[in-house]
Chain A
Amino acid sequence: MTSSLLLGITTFTYLFATLCFVYIFVFKAYRVYPFAIAVTVLALAIQTAGIGLRWYESYAMDIGHAPLTNMYESVVFFSWSIALIYLLMEWKFKTRILGLFALPFAFLAMAYASFSTGISKEISPLIPALQSNWLIAHVITCFVGYAAFTVAAGLGAMFLLKVSKGGAEKKDGGQFLAAIPAPDLVEDLIYKSMLFGFIWLTAGIITGAVWANSAWGTYWSWDPKETWSLITWFIYAITLHSRYTGGWTGKPLAWLAILGLVSVIFTYYGVNFWLSGLHSYGSG
């Protein structure tokens, strides 16, 4: 048993869980819901074991470090956080259908990590700059934040679908989308996940700054990755205030959740490939 095998199985289990939710959505087969949740929990358990085993393997190789230090490991952790946040939300709010909009991201992240040729899955030793507990704190906080924003964007898509022309008003469409809870509830969940994500992103930017200061003596150097994380942070800060002053709830909020995710993805992924900077470790 190796960690790559477990993480490979995880990928397909997330795919299967997603399909269960598609089935529930299309056939309104709510009986299947407990099964779909069970599959998701199973996927998360296998993934947790995979991450744990990878951690263990790195110690067996005598270069032990938490599995949170390169692109592959961070994408896996991202997927793990999405699934965990999704399950916690489902446990608390019982939307029964959110899985359809959240789990595809967990699956896609794993599929990308497992099958993209551009990502090295090697467990490699850490260069000196990366040997810091602040790095671990930085990666965890950032990715929990990103995962919450991903769930918010999934909910945003769900909201837009629900209130779209084919949605509530039309008879057939209304039938088709009946599985999606009332817009007000979805709206509330979008906003809550954005608040949750905002705190973690803030903590992520701060721990990154502390790390940079302990390694280089500069807590902020406006390198492209830092700047993009700040831009993302601004977008969510704007969202908080536009709700307050412009009453931007509902559709605008849903769109902002999606725009925010686009910015997150660019911060996380785009910057490594199109812009250069200190965070080159992420590109390997």
Chain B
Amino acid sequence: MLYDVARLEEKMLAAELRGRAELELVHLPSQPLRLGEPPGGGVDAALVRAISLYRAVSSAAVAESWGAAVVNPPVPLMAAGDKLLTQALLERRGIPTPRALVAYTPEAAVEAAGELGYPVVFKPTVGSWGRLAALAGDGEAVRSIAEHREALGGPYKVHYLQEYVRKPGRDLRVICVGGRAVAAAYRVSPGGWLTNAARGARSIPARLDGEAEELAVGACEAVGVEVAGVDLVEDPERGYLVLEVNGVPEFKSLTSATGVNVAASIAEHVVWRARV
């Protein structure tokens, strides 16, 4: 298992993997990785659990050079880590998502927002736990946010604007492993418009219906991930829309809310991948 921070999720995964196979823990900040030279003389499968997107993608690439089955592989991890790439792959597959526009200048961002209608969601393409996501109420706010992002430079200069979905104060997190949905929970907002667990959203168990399951599994296939946390929102008119596909999903709150042993499902899948 390749990881950077040992959260409760990584401890649970380590325990489940130890019970099924010989486990090598690779703490990425502590040691270099050698391309083509697996640690311990050989690795059949590698589970990537780095919180940092770039550590996850690069360590997954190194693990592929070892000839290991990598969960998740580097290209799908990158696609899942970039919200714009994810949405493009979902759109291509015909999976419903919130309407979105991309702009490359503050002026074009204001035009895009006007087309989507206010309030509008202004997200960084790479970023997590809702950081730097903004809800803009008018063109002045959009221009101001865009100008600040231009000053930040790099990927922040890609202005990714999404329609604001009037969801019922919650979203649905579905954990998918190996082509099936294994658990689901609603994440209920404590009051704001964001429903990230890291922002204080509360997890409550959800009964997964066929439509949500089909969309979540289809989203994983579109992005190419084997293990993921898929976030869906309920639009009052269009039904479920897929918001995000997380390639290194957190599942602590969901496990505690539903009682489903997500770590065991992931460990079983990784061991299976090592054998096929």
Specify whether A and B are partners.
no
A residues neighboring B (CB under 8 Å) = none
